[in-house]
Chains A and B, each alone.
Chain A
Amino acid sequence: MTRYIIQRLVYMIITMFLIATFTFFLMKLLPGTPLSAADKLSEEQRQVVLEKYGLDEPVPVQYFNYMVNLTQGDLGISFQFDNREVTTIIMERIGPSMTLGIQAMVIGTILGMLLGLVSAIYHNGFLDYGSTFIAVIGKSIPSFVFAGMLQYFVGVKLGWFPVALWEGWEYTVLPTVALAIFPIAIAARFMRTEMLEVMGSDYITTAKAKGVNKFGVVFKHGLRNALIPLITVLGPLAIGLMTGTLVIENIFAVPGIGEQFVKAINTNDFPIIMGTTLLIAFLFIFIILVIDLLYGVIDPRIRLAEGE
C-alpha cells in the first residue's frame, strides 16, 4: 500500500511538472506583457519593468527561474497589482472558494444520495419520478442560469438572503445552493442506478432470505455496495464544482479565486492565470489521488489485494 501511494505521488509530480512546463511555454507564446500599450514609457523605464518581472532574461533562463520558484511555492508577481505576489493573492482568496466548494460538495452529495436512495427504494413510484425529474433539471440547467433565478426570485423578490457580496454566513447561502444543484443531480442519478443494480443482485436476495428487514437490506447490505462506485463520481463532481465556482463567484461577487481568475482573464494578467491554472491542475490531480486511495479503504476487495 505504501509503495502504491509513493508510486502515485511520483506520477503526480511528473504530471504537475509537465503541466507547469506546458503552461509556461504557452504563456510565452502570448502577446501580453505587464506593459499595456497605453503606458507611455521610455526605453529605460521599460527595461526596469521587464527586469522586475525577470522578462529581460532569455526564455530558457526564465523557465529555469520559474520552475525553481515554483518548487518554493512562488508563483511570480501579478501584472495587474504592482508588487503583489500571486501566491499571496491566491492565499487571500482561497478561503471563500473553499467554503463554497466544501459546503456545496457536502450538502450536494448527501442530498443527492438521499434523493437517489428514495428513487431506488420507491422504484417507478411517484417519489422516483419526482426525484428523477429534479435530477434531470439539476443536471441540465447551467449553474449560472440557476444562480440568476436564485438571485432574482429568492434574493430580489422574496428578499430571504442577500443577493451578493461576502459579509457573513447568510451570504454563502445562495451561492452554495447554486453550486450544490449539480452535485445533487449527479449523485442522485448515480445513486439511483447503482442502488437499483445492487438491490437486484443475488446477495440482496440472500439477505432477504435470512429474514433481514427492509431497513437492514437497504442500509446494511445495499448502501455500502452502492457507495463504492459512487466514490468514482466524486472526482468529476469536485472538478465540476471548481468550474462552477468560476462563474458563481462572479455572479455573487464572492471574493474568491474564481472571481480573481475571470478578472485576470479580462485584464491579461498572465501570472495570475498561470498560478490559478496550476492550482486547479494540482487540486484536480490531488482529488483523483485521494479518491483512488479512498476506494481502497472502502472496498475490501481492493484493500486486501493491495495488502497481499
Chain B
Amino acid sequence: MDKHNPSKDLFVPVDRAGEDSEKISRPSLSFWQDSFIRLRKNVGAMIGLFVLLFIGFMAIFGPYMNEYDEFGQDLSRAKMPPKVEGLGWLGMDGTLTSVQTAATVEEAQEKALMRFNNQEEFITTTVLTEGGNGQEAEVEAVYDVYGAKNLEENFWFGTDGLGRDLWTRTWMGTRISLYIALLAAAIDMVIGVAYGGISAYYGGRVDNIMQRIIEVLVGIPNLVVVILMILILEPGILSITIALTITGWISMARIIRGQVLKLKNQEFVLASKTLGAQDNRVLRKHLVPNVLGLIIINTMFTIPSAIFFEAFLSFIGLGLPTPIASLGTLIDDGFMSLQIYPHILLFPAIIISLVMIAFNILADGLRDAFDPKMRE
C-alpha cells in the first residue's frame, strides 16, 4: 500500500445535515414499466408480435386485395398454381413441374407431355439424364398453366380444386383462427378468472361446491366433450364457440384459484384488511395486480391451443361446414392433392404455423417479462 499522506485539511468532518442516507440510488420502476421494458428487449417476442400484427392486418384487408371472392367457383381455373409477378424465383411463377422417367429420352419426353395434356406450346422440357446403359432417362417438363389457360390475372396463392381463389380463402380462414383466438382469450378472462377468483376469495362452502363442479368437468376429457357437443349442435362457428366455452376456462380457473388462495393469506393482504380495507379495495389494489401477470401469461398460452383445436376439428370434419374456409378445412383440402398440387396445402399450413409460432414465442416472452423471480 502506498504510504502517501493526504493533505491535512481533508480531515474535517463533513456536514451530514441535508444529506439523505436513505435515498434509493436506482430509479424506481413500477411492475408494469419493468415488465414492458423487459418485453421490449426480448427480440423473439417482438418478432412474434410483429408477425401477428402483420397477419392480423392481412386477415382484415387481404380478402379485398384482389377481385375474387371466397366462394366464387370456376372449374376452368381449378388447381391453378400460385403466380406473383416478380416472385418467380420463389417458385410462384404459375408453372407446374413434373419429372418423368422412362427407358429412353423420347419415351420420357412423351410421358412428360402426356402428363400435361400434350399442350406442347406451353411445355418446355429439359433432359436431366440421357439414360442408356441400363439407366433410365429423366425428363423434366415445365408447364405454363396461365399461358395454356390464357389467364391474364394472377392467383397469388393459386386456386383450389373448385377454382376458388386461395389468397382470399386463406385470409378468410385466418380470420376464423383469429376470431377463435379472441374468443379463447375472452372466455379465459371472463369465466375462468371470475370462477377461480370467486371460488378462492369467498372460500368455505362456495369454494367447496365450485371445486366439486370443476373436478367433474376435469375428469371428462375435453376432446370428448367438444366432439359430443359439436355432434349435437351441428358443425359451425357457433358450436365451436360453445364447445370452447364449456371446456376452455377450467385450467385458468384452477390457476387463478391457487394464486388467490396463496395471496389471500399473505401478510400484506392481512395487513390491508386489518387496516379496515373493504373487500372491493383488497380485490382491486392487492389481488388483481398480483394475478394480472399470471392471467396474461395463461391467456397467451390458451390462445394457440384454441387455434389448434379449431383447425383440428375442421380438419377431421367436425369444424366449419363447407364452403366456409378455415385454415383447418383448407389444409384438409390440400391433403387430397398433396403430391401434384402441394401449393393448396402449403399456404394455409404456413400461415397457421406462423400464427402458432408467433403466439407461442410471444407467450414465452410475456412469461419471462412478468415473472417477478427474474427481476434483478
Residues of B within 8 A of A163 (CB): 339
Does A136 lie within 8 Å of B345, measured CB to CB?
no
Residues of B within 8 A of A246 (CB): 312, 316
Asked whether A280 and B317 contact (CB < 8 A) given A148-B335, A148-B338, A152-B338, the answer is: no
A139 within 8 A of B: yes
How many A-B Cβ pairs are below 8 Å?
Answer: 98
| Cα–Cα distance between A249 and B220 once the two chains are bound (Å) | 23
Does B231 lie within 8 Å of A30, measured CB to CB?
yes
Chain A 123-168 residues near chain B, CB threshold 8 A: 136-137, 139-142, 144-145, 148-149, 151-152, 156, 163
Does B352 lie within 8 Å of A18, measured CB to CB?
no
A265 within 8 A of B: yes
Asked whether A277 and B357 contact (CB < 8 A) given A148-B334, A251-B335, the answer is: no
**Closest chain B residue to A16, Cβ basis:** B219
Does B231 lie within 8 Å of A265, measured CB to CB?
yes
Number of B residues near A (Cβ < 8 Å) is 34
Does B360 lie within 8 Å of A281, measured CB to CB?
no
Number of A residues near B (Cβ < 8 Å) is 38
| Cα–Cα distance between A262 and B312 once the two chains are bound (Å) | 12
Residues of B within 8 A of A262 (CB): 316-317
Residues of A within 8 A of B349 (CB): 145, 148-149
B124 within 8 A of A: no
Binary contact track B345-360/A, C-beta < 8 Å → 1, others 0: 1000100110011011
Does B338 lie within 8 Å of A151, measured CB to CB?
yes
**Closest chain B residue to A148, Cβ basis:** B345
**Closest chain A residue to B354, Cβ basis:** A140
B53 within 8 A of A: no
B60 within 8 A of A: no
Does A284 lie within 8 Å of B331, measured CB to CB?
no
| Cα–Cα distance between A151 and B338 once the two chains are bound (Å) | 9
Does A239 lie within 8 Å of B304, measured CB to CB?
no
| Cα–Cα distance between A56 and B160 once the two chains are bound (Å) | 46
Residues of A within 8 A of B356 (CB): 140-142
B143 within 8 A of A: no
Asked whether A277 and B224 contact (CB < 8 A) given A29-B232, A141-B353, A141-B356, the answer is: yes
Does B331 lie within 8 Å of A141, measured CB to CB?
no
Does B361 lie within 8 Å of A281, measured CB to CB?
no
Asked whether A142 and B316 contact (CB < 8 A) given A26-B232, A265-B231, the answer is: no
Does B360 lie within 8 Å of A136, measured CB to CB?
yes
Residues of B within 8 A of A22 (CB): 220, 228
Does B231 lie within 8 Å of A243, measured CB to CB?
no
B128 within 8 A of A: no
**Closest chain A residue to B361, Cβ basis:** A136
Binary contact track A233-258/B, C-beta < 8 Å → 1, others 0: 00000010011001100110000000
Q: Is the interface of B mostly helix, strand, loop or mixed?
A: helix
Residues of A within 8 A of B275 (CB): none
**Closest chain B residue to A243, Cβ basis:** B223
| Cα–Cα distance between A266 and B342 once the two chains are bound (Å) | 25
Shortest CB distance A241–B (Å): 11
A19 within 8 A of B: yes
Shortest CB distance A47–B (Å): 26
Residues of B within 8 A of A29 (CB): 232
Shortest CB distance B215–A (Å): 9
| Cα–Cα distance between A73 and B52 once the two chains are bound (Å) | 49
Does B315 lie within 8 Å of A280, measured CB to CB?
no
Which listed residue (A30, A247, A273, A281) contacts B315, Cβ 8 A?
A247
Shortest CB distance A16–B (Å): 9
| Cα–Cα distance between A148 and B345 once the two chains are bound (Å) | 8
Residues of B within 8 A of A285 (CB): 219
Residues of A within 8 A of B223 (CB): 239, 242-243, 280
Shortest CB distance A239–B (Å): 6
A15 within 8 A of B: yes
Chain B 162-209 residues near chain A, CB threshold 8 A: none
A23 within 8 A of B: yes
Does B224 lie within 8 Å of A142, measured CB to CB?
no
| Cα–Cα distance between A23 and B331 once the two chains are bound (Å) | 30
Residues of B within 8 A of A277 (CB): 224, 227-228
Residues of A within 8 A of B364 (CB): 136
**Closest chain A residue to B360, Cβ basis:** A140
Which listed residue (B216, B231, B353) contacts A145, Cβ 8 A?
B353
Residues of A within 8 A of B (CB): 15, 18-19, 22-23, 26, 29-30, 136-137, 139-142, 144-145, 148-149, 151-152, 156, 163, 239, 242-243, 246-247, 250-251, 262, 265-266, 273, 277, 280-281, 284-285
- 8 A-B pairs with least C-beta separation: A140-B356, A140-B357, A284-B221, A15-B219, A145-B349, A141-B353, A140-B360, A262-B316
Additional A-B contacts beyond A19-B224, A140-B353 (5; CB < 8 A): A139-B360, A141-B353, A144-B335, A152-B342, A277-B227
| 24 pairs of residues in contact across A and B, judged by CB atoms under 8 Å | A15-B216, A15-B219, A18-B220, A19-B219, A22-B220, A26-B232, A136-B357, A140-B356, A140-B359, A142-B312, A142-B356, A144-B331, A145-B331, A148-B331, A148-B349, A152-B345, A156-B339, A239-B221, A243-B223, A243-B312, A266-B317, A277-B224, A277-B228, A284-B221
